[in-house]
Amino acid sequence: MSVSDATAWAALTEHSATITERSLRDLFAADPARGTAMTVSVGDLYVDYSKHRINGATMRLLHLLARETHVFEKRDAMLRGERINVSEDRPVLHIALRKRRDESLWLDGHDVVPDVHGVLDAMGEFTDSLRDGSWRGADGRPITTVVNIGIGGSDLGPAMVHAALREYCDGPDVRFVSNVDPADLLSTLADLDPATTLFVVVSKTFSTFETMANAHAARRWLVDALGEDAVAGHFVAVSTNAALVADFGIESSNVFGFWDWVGGRYSVGSAVGLSVMAAIGRHRFAEFLAGFRTVDEHFQTAPIHANAPVILGLLSVWYASVLGADARAILPYANDLARLPAYLQQLAMESNGKSVRGDGTPVGVPTGEVIWGEAGTNGQHAFHQLLHQGTRLVPADFIGFARAGEDFISLDGATSMHEVLTANMFAQSRVLAFGKTKAEVIADGVDPVLAPHKVMPGDRPSTTILASELTPSTLGQLIALYEHQVFVQGAVWGIDSFDQWGVELGKASAVELAPALAAGGGPSDAMDSSTRGLVAAFWRERT
Ligand code: F6P
């Protein structure tokens, strides 16, 4: 059934006209308990969704929509290992990556949990040897720098998590190379010594062009300095494609596997997180996985009205599909989470940026949101102007923490910088929601001519996620919360959230065009006139 055929869909569409006539000021005035009632807790995360354009009736209709679109049956099908990635005919079992050693998850008569822990143990032994210096490079010195080479899910997850857990990094220096732009690899290697550098080549398929180009260039850099025999001690791989890894020259004992039931953008808890484990150690990596598990169990068991990923998934459908919001801003008030918006871009947009349902029929309603954002308070001095007074509806997710690891006292000598940061986060969501009327502006003594410029319209929705502290566990919880939110969206829309066919034609087209830009190439009549013109301009500028 298409979402637009649901009884709740028609009801929500009708309801949207009346609820949006009510301001958030009105809704808060009508229900003094709203600010604590419209909240949900999961693990260490406190989620406040009271500043949304909703009331109890909206939530009841969204719950009905979830039931009519079989969100819970689809969740259970995923958890049972059914092949819910229909277009690739694969199960979707990233939750298996977080199972405890004593749990089971059976897939086609095989318990996959021992496989998962087998790889985690191998990762632990390997990263221990890097961290304690017993893994030696070609000239006998220990490794001081790990360079992760990967792209998309093979880069964004480990890069985001490594930055987020800065305070927990006590192993080798870890760097990330992803772009096929040679500047990325060159700038990363510029100050490195090949003898103390180890490359982790991360690619599920081991055939992604950017990753293989960077891996081969890194291999040449190493071999030029240390000789061919050095490759074995300075390259390891994370992949599901053992044959192609062997062709590259990486020994099978240095390959950390995962499975086709782990999608790239859901893979940071698998061996794809190897460089993170090198940085923080196996015990903290286990805490990271335990954080995911807390939210997995909540998603699996919490009732609909208290299920955080379900609530957040339904709210994002409400905005994207019913109220016509095209985008959602991700605003972490934690500098160490600066890469979270980029990570969530792939998670949400590659999963749900689709127009057809799993059976190939059109979804028929607007789907995937444009995810973007920036760490607070930097965004306040850049784009919050549009959020506050622009003409577009852009719901925002504020993410902050009660405690900071280290802190400084601020300008007043009494408040800490972390407290100021958090005050800014609370202030932004408050001003977005409640604004400032013209009468209030004029009452402040503002010239009436200037007043329209200073009016703050309010009624700009946001969610606030407040956690205790940015730790491996709370980060795992946060990622799992978003993973399951994305699942709920896709389930309501009826789309396959686990394929990414939309990226393939661009890759093939680049391969086809590359010879035109290489020696002996040039524009051809077979090209469209724009591409022909661009190729001609490229050659004019080259010569
Ligand atoms: O091009 C998209 C994509 O397939 C992503 O889904 C994936 O995370 C990325 O490329 C990298 O793929 P791989 O790990 O196979 O190199």
Closest Cα to atom 10 of ligand 1: 152
Measured distance CA(487)–CA(74) in Å, rounded: 9
Q: What is the residue with the minimal CA distance to atom 13 of ligand 1?
A: 203
| Alpha-carbon dihedral angle through residues 62, 65, 69, 71, given to the nearest 10 degrees | 30
Q: Which pLDDT does position 405 carry in this prediction?
A: 86
Distance from the alpha carbon of residue 437 to the mean position of ligand 1, in angstroms: 48
Q: How far apart are CA 262 and CA 204, in angstroms?
A: 9
Mean pLDDT of the chain: 97
- Probe target for ligand 1 pocket from 262, 500, 505, 509, with the most ligand atoms within 8 Å of CB: 500
Expressed in angstroms and rounded, the spacing between residue 122 Cα and the centre of ligand 1 is 24
Residues with CB under 6 A from ligand 1: 151-154, 203-205, 208, 211, 264-265, 350, 500, 503
Question: Residue 185 has what pLDDT?
Answer: 98
Task: Please give the number of the atom of ligand 1 that sits closest to the Cα of 210.
Answer: 16
Q: What residues contact 286, with CB distance under 8 A and at least 6 apart?
A: 120
How far, in Å, from the CA of 251 to the mean position of ligand 1? 23
The set of residues, in sequence order, having a beta carbon less than 8 Å from that of 239 and lying 6+ positions away, is 201, 202, 203, 204, 205, 206, 245, 255, 257, 258
Mean pLDDT of 313-322: 98
Closest C-alpha to 290, from 100, 51, 540: 100
- pLDDT at residue number 423: 97
pLDDT surpasses 90 at 293: yes
Residues 6+ apart with CB under 8 A from 342: 156, 160
**Residue closest by Cα to atom 9 of ligand 1:** 152
Cα angle, residue 148 at apex, residues 144 and 152 outer, rounded to 5°: 160
Direct distance between the N- and C-terminal alpha carbons of the chain, in angstroms, rounded to an integer: 58
Is residue 1 over pLDDT 90? Answer: no
Quick one: pLDDT band at residue 419, thresholds 50, 70, 90?
Answer: very high
Instruction: Classify strands 106-107 and 110-111 as parallel, antiparallel or unpaired.
Output: antiparallel
The ligand 1 atom at the shortest distance from the C-alpha of residue 500 is 6
- Binned at pLDDT 50, 70 and 90, residue 326 comes out as very high
* Atom 6 (ligand 1) nearest CA: 264
Distance from residue 151's CA to the centre of ligand 1 (Å): 6
**What separation in Å is there between the alpha carbon of 146 and the centre of ligand 1?**
21
Mean pLDDT of 443-459: 97
pLDDT recorded at residue 72: 98
Active site residues: 350, 381, 507
Q: Is the ipTM of this complex over 0.90?
A: yes
Q: How far is CA 206 from the centre of its chain?
A: 22
So what's the pLDDT on residue 218? 98
Q: What's the order of all strands across the beta sheet hosting 327-332?
A: 39-42, 45-48, 462-469, 396-403, 327-332, 370-373
pLDDT digits (tens, 9 = 90+) for 404-415: 988 999 999 889
Residue 201 β-bridge partners: 149, 237
Residue 474 forms beta bridges with which residues? none
DSSP letter for 366, please: -
d(CA 467, CA 215): 38
Asked if the model's pLDDT at residue 65 lies above 90, the reply is yes
For ligand 1, pick from 204, 240, 265 the residue to mutate: most ligand atoms within 8 Å of CB: 204
Q: Is the peptide bond before 377 cis (omega within 30 degrees of 0)?
A: yes
Q: What pLDDT score does 543 carry?
A: 80
Question: Residues 10-61: pLDDT tens digits?
Answer: 999 999 999 999 999 999 999 999 999 999 999 999 999 999 999 999 999 9
The model carries a pTM of 0.97
Q: Please report the pLDDT score of residue 44 as a whole number.
A: 98
133 Cβ contact list (under 8 Å, min separation 6): 142, 143
| Cα dist from 73 to 17, 249, 358, whole Å | 31, 45, 15
Average pLDDT over every residue of 356-363: 96
Distance 486 CA to ligand 1 centre (A): 18
3-state DSSP assignment of residue 445:
coil
Of 149, 154, 206, 509, the one to substitute when testing ligand 1's pocket (max ligand atoms within 8 A of C-beta) is 154
197 SS3 class: strand
Backbone angles phi, psi at 502, to 5 degrees: -65, -10
Q: Which among 228, 217, 229, 259 is positioned nearest to 116, based on CA atoms? A: 259
